[in-house]
Amino acid sequence: MDRDTLLIITTAPDEAAAELIAKALIEKGGAACVNILPEMRSLYKWKGRIESGREQLLLIKARQDRYAAIEKQIEALHPYELPEIIAVSIDVGLPAYLEWVVGRMPSESQ
């Protein structure tokens, strides 16, 4: 079976933003599951300065053909000027779980 699943990673500045994004992605059919990990500290260089902030990590499981829609939803809802949105192809995993991710969501053409 073709494993056309993705793990999409993004961060949010707080629990409210993380929950808003996660619920929207699930309700609109873009994601099968979103895990919100508790607060973490991020260090990054932004506009020439080293910045530090508290964030929450979102792990989004979805079909590859839903990536464009998910990216648009995250950008529309996200409070950051430039949100982190990274997708990693899932090549190996528990077959039943990956089938659930693929089978649970409508395809782009539906």
Provide the domain limits for residue 90. Answer: 5-102
- Is residue 32 in some structural domain? yes
Number of C-beta neighbours around residue 16 at 10 A: 11
Record the pTM. Answer: 0.89
Residue 107 lies in a domain: no
Token pair recorded at residue 66: 């839903």
Domain contains 61: yes
User: Residue 9: what pLDDT?
Assistant: 98
**Domain CATH code at residue 10:** 3.30.70.120
Mean pLDDT of the residues in the chain = 91
Burial-class residue 57 by CB neighbours within 10 Å (0-12, 13-18, 19+). middle
> Is residue 77 situated within a structural domain?
yes
Residue 41 covered by a domain: yes
Specify the number of domains making up the chain. Answer: 1
| pLDDT tens readout for residues 77-101 | 999 999 999 999 999 999 889 999 9
